[in-house]
Amino acid sequence: MITQGQMMLETAQNIIKRTAKLLGLSEDISKRLIEPEQYHEFNFPVLMDSEKVRLFKGWRIQHNSALGPYKGGIRFHPETVREEVQALATLMTIKCAVAGLPYGGSKGGVVVDPKTLSKTELERLSRAYAKQIAPIIGPYVDVPAPDVNTNPLIMSYMIEEYLKKVKSQKSKVKSESKKLKVDKNEESYYLSTFTGKPVGKGGTLGRTEATGRGGVIILKALLEKIFNQDDSTKILSRLNSSPDKTVGVVKQKVSKNFVSPSSNNLTIAVQGFGNVGYYFAKIAQEEGFKVVAVSDSKGGIIKLNNQFLINLISKKYPNPNHPIGK
């Protein structure tokens, strides 16, 4: 039976195969675009609060660096598998290329349910993983970032461990307990190895809500294109001729009879209410859309009104573990 990770990888690779065929690329080039440049798999120990040592499995897959340094997040999830990480690294390469960014694609992941760890265990896990990837990352090599179940705090743990590694290598001193010096400008340079850091450690204002905000911006741009009479005909034509079965639902929804988004009659349901879903719902509502349903892994709520959504957000954040369905 094919797993979800294998399905994701097959989907990502099919994007490249179809595009390569349309562009008339050679089989050699197509293969190079499909296969990652480097796989890194780790089995690393972490000391638990019980004083027992637990072994964790993790990956950093560096897909393609033709356009620049690898770029991609790090996720902590109990169902993380190599195929999923590879698929996401592949998609990062595609996204950066399509957006015209001077980056390649990579992704990292650890098989763990962070909800089962204490704060100190989560910190030790984050630092241990950072030690594993430290030799293969850098400002012009590979730039990690937050992803599923990781955040600025976890990035701060990781950058601290990375800086320790840099200091240790620079001074040729093995012990990390000894005070070592790195020039301030040089430290700023190495801090750029990670994005999504806390603002006080070189992070960027607006980064936390950036993905959700980007989703709303793309939604608005898509709707504007659909409601343009000339463009809507082209979109419908492309959807109807697409070999991809996943567009079937979209084809049923796209119609010239849609009302304009400016009329505020469009409604939105958000599946997943983590960092991305939360900010998407919040910003979409601020932009005049009607968010009528939200859900997370614990359940969902439908028939929301604006005040109910605001109350829900206040309960869910700053306590991300608050279940929507209860």
Using CA atoms, how far apart are residues 210 and 136, in angstroms rounded to an integer? 27
Using 70 as the pLDDT threshold, list the residues of the chain that sit under it: 170-184, 229-265, 304-326
The answer to whether residue 191 is domain-embedded is: yes
Helix (H, G, I), strand (E, B) or coil at 300: strand
Is 0.85 topped by the overall pTM?
Answer: no
Using CA atoms, how far apart are residues 85 and 6, in angstroms rounded to an integer? 10
The CATH number assigned to the domain holding 53 equals 3.40.50.10860
The answer to whether residue 8 is domain-embedded is: no
Instruction: Looking at the structure, tell me whether residues 297 and 312 fall in a common domain.
Output: yes
* Token output for 163: 């800086």
Using CA atoms, how far apart are residues 90 and 34, in angstroms rounded to an integer? 7
Choose among 126, 87, 125: nearest CA to 106: 87
**Which residue is associated with the tokens 């279940």?**
323
If one counts the domains in the chain, the total is: 2
**Which residue is associated with the tokens 């109350």?**
311
The answer to whether residue 12 is domain-embedded is: no
Instruction: Looking at the structure, tell me whether residues 232 and 195 fall in a common domain.
Output: no
Give pLDDT, residue 238: 58
Give pLDDT, residue 8: 95
The answer to whether residue 112 is domain-embedded is: yes
Instruction: Looking at the structure, tell me whether residues 74 and 223 fall in a common domain.
Output: no
Catalytic residue (one of 17, 57, 71, 107): 107
CA 264 to chain centroid: 30
Q: Is 205 exposed, middle or buried (0-12, 13-18, 19+ CB in 10 A)?
A: exposed
Give pLDDT, residue 254: 47
Instruction: Looking at the structure, tell me whether residues 88 and 187 fall in a common domain.
Output: yes
Active site residue 165: no
Q: How many CB atoms lie within 10 A of CB 162?
A: 22
The answer to whether residue 7 is domain-embedded is: no
Edge-to-edge strand list for the sheet holding 70-77: 38-47, 53-64, 105-111, 70-77, 142-146
Using CA atoms, how far apart are residues 259 and 301, in angstroms rounded to an integer? 25
Give pLDDT, residue 175: 40
DSSP H or E segment with residue 197: none
* Token output for 189: 């340079």
Residues 96 and 103: beta-carbon distance below 8 Å: yes
**Strand pairing partners for 41?**
59
Q: Select from 148, 181, 207 the last residue of a domain.
A: 207
The answer to whether residue 29 is domain-embedded is: no
Give pLDDT, residue 40: 98
Region of 27 please: left (phi>0), alpha (psi -120 to 50) or beta. alpha
For the segment 138-164, what is each residue's pLDDT rounded down to a tens digit?
A: 999 999 999 999 999 999 999 999 999
Per the structure, the complete domain to which residue 310 belongs is given by 211-316
